[in-house]
């Protein structure tokens, strides 16, 4: 299951995009979004890296 992004908390800093080893996330309109959900291995690196707690795997 790919991550869920809380767009109200996301500031578009790009940390999650840079952290994801599989290239799952991209920035669009200054917000992170799941561009390649099938590539997600649920490593949760993006969730750990997000400074705003905008990413979850619930």
Quote the pLDDT of residue 7: 97
Give me the domain span that covers residue 29.
4-53
Query: Does 58 map to a domain?
Result: no
pLDDT in tens, 4-15: 999 999 999 999
pLDDT in tens, 13-57: 999 999 999 999 999 999 999 999 999 999 999 999 999 999 999
Please state the domain count of the chain.
1
Would the pLDDT of 58 be above 90? no
In degrees and rounded to multiples of 5, residue 19 shows phi and psi of -85, -35
Which residue has 């905008």 as its token pair?
54
Query: Domain holding 12: CATH number?
Result: 3.30.70.20
Please answer whether residues 43 and 21 qualify as being in contact, where contact means their C-beta atoms are separated by less than 8 angstroms: yes
Predicted TM-score (pTM) above 0.75: yes
Quote the pLDDT of residue 50: 98
- Give the Cα separation of 55 and 39 in Å (integer): 17
């Amino acid at each position: 299951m790919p991550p869920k992004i809380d767009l109200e908390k996301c500031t578009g800093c790009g940390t999650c995009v840079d952290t994801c080893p599989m290239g799952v996330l991209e920035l669009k309109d200054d917000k992170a979004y799941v561009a390649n959900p099938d590539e997600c291995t649920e490593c949760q690196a993006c969730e750990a890296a997000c400074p705003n707690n905008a990413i979850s795997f619930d």
